[in-house]
Amino acid sequence: MIDTNAVLKAYLKTSGTGLYTLVGARIHMTRVPAGFANTATALEVMRNGGDDDAYVAMHDPTYQIKCFGGTTSHANAQAVYRALCDRLHRASNVTVTGGVIMRADQEILGQDLYDPDTGWPFVLTTFRVTMRPAS
């Protein structure tokens, strides 16, 4: 079984992309770290379900992703969301450390929301990412 979180993170943090230009390595799997203050752009990526097929070693997780813009403006969060979509939506047959992204599709369009505790704006979206081990 592959570490699907590691595969997705490796793909998202690839340098030379619009997403990397905005977010850099601030891609937090599961939760943003303690003390996160929304002073820099970031992604919070949480696997929240999916499926796998043991016979063909294929994994099909779903990820809920929060896009933070590093300010109190939804416009900045939306810019991060657009860069995420440009990078991940319809990605296919991409080999990264730990595995191959066979296909990635956005399942839910970005929703402009506010964190109920902090009031920070973010854009919430969901992607299904089909992966397999690298050959």
The answer, yes or no, to whether residue 56 has pLDDT greater than 80, is no
How far CA 24 is from CA of 2, 48, 51, 60, 96, in Å, comes to 24, 24, 29, 26, 17
pLDDT of residue 1: 80
* Number of structural domains found in the chain: 1
Q: Name residue 128's beta-bridge partners.
A: 62, 105
- Tell me what the pLDDT averaged over the chain comes to: 95
Is 67 in contact with 46 (CB distance < 8 Å)? no
Helix (H, G, I), strand (E, B) or coil at 81: helix
Mean predicted confidence (pLDDT) in 86-107? 96
- pLDDT category of residue 53 using cuts at 50, 70 and 90: confident
The answer, yes or no, to whether residue 55 has pLDDT greater than 90, is no
What is the spatial distance between Cα 40 and Cα 90, in angstroms, rounded to a whole number? 27
Mean predicted confidence (pLDDT) in 71-98? 97
Give me Rg for the CA atoms of the chain. 15
The answer, yes or no, to whether residue 119 has pLDDT greater than 90, is yes
Is 26 in contact with 42 (CB distance < 8 Å)? yes
pLDDT of residue 112: 97
Say which CATH number the domain at 107 has: 3.30.2000
What residues make up the domain containing 9?
Answer: 4-132
